[in-house]
Amino acid sequence: MSGLLLLFVFGLWVVFVTWLTKSLIRAMQPGLFKRIVHLMLFSMLLIVPVADDIVGGFQFRALCRQGYPPVYDEAKARDKTVKLKEVPVRILNQKPYLDIPRKYIDYTIIPIREDSWEYVDHITGETLLSWKEYHAKGGWLSRVTGFPQDSPPYTFNGVCSTHSNFPVLKKLNIKELGEK
């Protein structure tokens, strides 16, 4: 149902942009120049609702390109027992719980969250293995409509995850505390 609503809103936007473009170039003399201006103006106005999503995609891909492969010293980490380093999180009027450290990246056009995965020696607390992941919310249109759920970006995949890093635990024969 919400997909139909989104298609309806998009259809209304196309009709509005068509009307606005024709209104803006009405006074121009007919010819090739008018057609080129019409096409450029129509194209630019059509992408306005997702423009922040497009720019945010470039910023997000730049963060992902930096790449955060797992950081570890194989000699120190091999055959150790570790636990995930967690920080207490408190939400108003709720009991505190533990979660991985998260922060939002400053100076981006869309909200981008950085998750820090850090495995520490369960006895000494020394960091043995770590990596980062990025998660982006969509632009203003995605956040206002709430479609789809969790408001992901419309123009790119908003997850730069390194789930391929989890096998490193197995490769180094690392046991996670609490693991069966």
Percent of the chain with pLDDT over 70: 88
pTM: 0.73
pLDDT for the residue numbered 40: 94
- Please give the pLDDT value at position 180: 42
Q: How far is CA 136 from CA 48, 51, 56, 89, 114, in A?
A: 19, 15, 9, 20, 9
Residue 175 has pLDDT above 90, yes or no: no
Interaxial angle between packed helices 32-46 and 2-25, expressed in degrees from 0 to 180 and rounded to the nearest 10: 150
Given a cut of 80, is residue 29 above it in pLDDT? yes
- Predicted local distance difference test score (pLDDT) of residue 144: 77
In this prediction, residue 163 has a pLDDT band, given cuts at 50, 70 and 90, of low
Task: Report how far residue 114's alpha carbon sits from residue 60's, in angstroms, rounded to the nearest whole number.
Answer: 11
Q: Determine the distance from the C-alpha atom of residue 103 to the mean position of all C-alpha atoms in its chain, rounded to a whole number.
A: 13
